[in-house]
Amino acid sequence: MQFKTLSKTMGVVIIAAIGLSTVFCCGGPEAAYGPGDKVTIKGRFLDEKGKPFKGREIAVWVQNIEVFFFLPDFTTKTDDKGNYSITESGKHFIWGSSRTKYTTVANSSSGDGPVTSMSFYPVEQEIELPDARLWTARLAEKVKDGLVTFDWNTIDNVAGKPATRYEFTARGQDHWDLWEEDDVQQGFDLPAYIFQNRCSGWRITGKIDGQDSYDIDWSFRSGVKSGKNLVPSDDYKLVSAGKPCYAEGFGSSRYTAFTNMEWSDVHSFDTLAAWIILDLEFSKPISAVAVYDLSTGYGEGTPAFNSFDIYVTKDTTDWGEPVANTSKDDGYIHYEFEPKKGRYVKLQANPGSNLKIRSLVELSAFSAAE
């Protein structure tokens, strides 16, 4: 199985490591119990060294009608041997059709510690899950020649098998929207400038997808590598901070929230926008652009997307040809190109495309350091 993840924080529960599914109204396999029967889920948690994870909260999340809530449905605590057990009525784990709801068991955390989770369909009335061990990953990063390289220990020694994939997430100040990569391997690198000298932490999540609907989806979120400005950069200078930003269909509305360097929230449009323009107020040589947490959707007509293009111009009556493009249609995107002097920077899908912008966190322009 493979499911879309959530990676935000609410209250004291951090569930970035939890593999929560998109909602399927039909549910999983049929349950071997009824709504009035008692269902018991038990197992054992171990710490990073393989010792019992004593007296720590274990939480259970169950697929709801349309969404997952961040706060857990049930909680319990481990005993001195790391064991936990929770018993609840079967009605909590099945739909009206008797098909099972996707359920996640994980240690809950309010800090930067590791989180290990198991997600599955609770088919049996008595469920004993495998031992779950936390994973520190021993994160390390190195900045050289404008690139930052990230490295970590694999999950093999705690999971007993290799990861299906690893996911990377970086924190800007207190918020985890600074940068994300969905599928990375040890030793991958990124341009250091995209972190804007604001990276206060990063982590890796190792995923192991179950083979079928009766199997377990594992998620091992590492502890956080934290500190002040973990990814220093001086190769590119940010020139868009606090500058006005305009969107198609919204007249002269200024979206300075897209240039405030806070990464505190996703800013959405009421209707899809075909383009966004940065006004740098003065012409500057632009060498790079970064887009943070872009979400898109198609307008009317047959989808015709080929690329997201970047334009730089001194005069909005003549945009000329794009200076860079990518076939990536959402998420976190960075562009590097030969310097071009201009006051305005535009993000827009290729001509003829009906792919439009739904929301984003930040849009930034950079000038190469002199």
- Identify the band that residue 69 occupies on the pLDDT scale cut at 50, 70 and 90: low
- Identify the band that residue 14 occupies on the pLDDT scale cut at 50, 70 and 90: very low
Q: Has residue 183 got a pLDDT over 90?
A: yes
What pLDDT shows up at residue 299?
Answer: 86
221-234 burial, b at 16+ Cβ within 10 Å, e below that, comes to bbbbbeeeebbebe
Non-local CB neighbours of 55 within 8 Å, separated by 6+ positions: 77, 78, 79, 80
Q: Has residue 17 got a pLDDT over 70?
A: no
**Residue 144 in contact with residue 189, Cβ under 8 Å?**
no
DSSP-derived secondary structure letter, 33: S
What pLDDT shows up at residue 110?
Answer: 67
Q: Are strands 267-273 and 355-360 parallel, antiparallel or unpaired?
A: antiparallel
Bridge partners of 60, per DSSP, are 74, 105
Bridge partners of 234, per DSSP, are none
Domain 9-226: CATH superfamily is Carboxypeptidase-like, regulatory domain (2.60.40.1120)
Most trustworthy range by pLDDT among 19-23, 67-71, 122-126, 247-251: 122-126
In angstroms, the CA 35 to CA 149 distance is 51
Tokens of 78: 């481990």
- Identify the band that residue 1 occupies on the pLDDT scale cut at 50, 70 and 90: low
Which residues make up the CATH 2.60.120.260 domain(s) of the chain? 237-368
Q: At the topology level of CATH, where does 237-368 sit?
A: Jelly Rolls (2.60.120)
Q: Has residue 214 got a pLDDT over 60?
A: yes
- Identify the band that residue 251 occupies on the pLDDT scale cut at 50, 70 and 90: low
Residue whose token pair is 């002097």: 341
Number of helical (H) and strand (E) elements in the chain, helices listed first: 1, 27
Mean pLDDT of the chain: 89
Residue type, 113: G
In angstroms, the CA 110 to CA 15 distance is 10
**Three-class secondary structure of residue 203 per DSSP:** strand
CB atoms < 10 A from the CB of 97, how many? 11
Residue count of the chain, please give it: 370
- Identify the band that residue 266 occupies on the pLDDT scale cut at 50, 70 and 90: confident
pLDDT digits (tens, 9 = 90+) for 328-341: 999 999 999 999 99
What pLDDT shows up at residue 74?
Answer: 95
Q: Has residue 133 got a pLDDT over 60?
A: yes
pLDDT digits (tens, 9 = 90+) for 138-162: 999 999 999 999 999 999 999 999 9
What pLDDT shows up at residue 252?
Answer: 59
What pLDDT shows up at residue 96?
Answer: 86
- Identify the band that residue 8 occupies on the pLDDT scale cut at 50, 70 and 90: very low
pLDDT digits (tens, 9 = 90+) for 78-103: 999 999 999 999 999 999 889 999 99
Residue whose token pair is 């926008």: 273
Task: Provide the whole-model pTM.
Answer: 0.89
114 or 12, which is more confident: 114
Residue whose token pair is 């794009």: 322
**Of the candidates 263, 194, 200, 261, the residue with the CA atom closest to the CA atom of residue 233:** 194
In angstroms, the CA 214 to CA 339 distance is 54
What pLDDT shows up at residue 131?
Answer: 97
Bridge partners of 339, per DSSP, are none
Which residues make up the CATH 2.60.40.1120 domain(s) of the chain? 9-226
DSSP letter string, 35-60: TTSEEEEEEEEE-TTSSB-TT-EEEE
What pLDDT shows up at residue 3?
Answer: 38
Least confident of 105-114, 179-188, 195-204, 315-324: 105-114
- Identify the band that residue 173 occupies on the pLDDT scale cut at 50, 70 and 90: confident
Residue 32 CA to its chain's centroid (Å):
35
Least confident of 9-13, 222-226, 324-328: 9-13
What pLDDT shows up at residue 5?
Answer: 35
DSSP letter string, 69-91: -SS-SEEEE--TTSEEEEEEEGG
**Residue 54 in contact with residue 80, Cβ under 8 Å?**
yes
What pLDDT shows up at residue 20?
Answer: 41
In angstroms, the CA 80 to CA 356 distance is 54
Mean pLDDT calculated for residue range 224-249? 93
Mean pLDDT calculated for residue range 354-370? 91
CB atoms < 10 A from the CB of 112, how many? 14
